[in-house]
């Protein structure tokens, strides 16, 4: 059986806030650790029938980037639910939410 590993390294500042985040994976196209400004990891806890979440971001990630990051996450969830369950309604509802959020973010950016 093939195994794959994904590794995150988080450096913290004196207040225990993420200063830098690096990641690596055995199946990644390029070799070596890469820097990122944010990670969002969701794990299904089968025992408690709930989702465990780890959301980390560095201080240099802008609010605009954070909003874009979460819109992309939601969009990916919509596609994943379609691919895994075939539930078009569920997928389209998530896509519609993403479309509304993109419009909101674009309107915010125009005001600045």
Q: Quick one: 46 and 76 in the same domain?
A: no
As given in the structure block, the two tokens for residue 20 are 């830098």
Residue 112 has pLDDT above 90, yes or no: no
* For range 66-93, the mean pLDDT: 97
Q: Chain-centre distance of CA 66, in angstroms?
A: 9
This prediction's pTM: 0.85
Q: Quick one: 42 and 67 in the same domain?
A: no
Q: Quick one: 68 and 47 in the same domain?
A: no
The secondary element (H helix, E strand) that includes residue 68 is: helix 63-85
């Amino acid at each position: 059986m093939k195994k794959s590993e994904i590794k995150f390294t988080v450096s913290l500042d004196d207040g225990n806030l993420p200063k830098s985040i690096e990641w690596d994976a055995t199946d990644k196209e390029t070799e070596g650790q890469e820097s990122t400004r944010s990670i969002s990891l969701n794990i299904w806890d089968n025992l408690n029938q709930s989702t465990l979440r780890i959301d980390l971001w560095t201080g240099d990630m802008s609010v605009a980037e954070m909003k874009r990051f979460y819109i992309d996450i939601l969009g990916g969830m919509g596609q994943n639910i379609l691919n895994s369950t075939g539930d078009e309604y569920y997928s389209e509802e998530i896509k519609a939410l993403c479309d509304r959020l993109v419009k909101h973010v674009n309107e915010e950016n125009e005001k600045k």
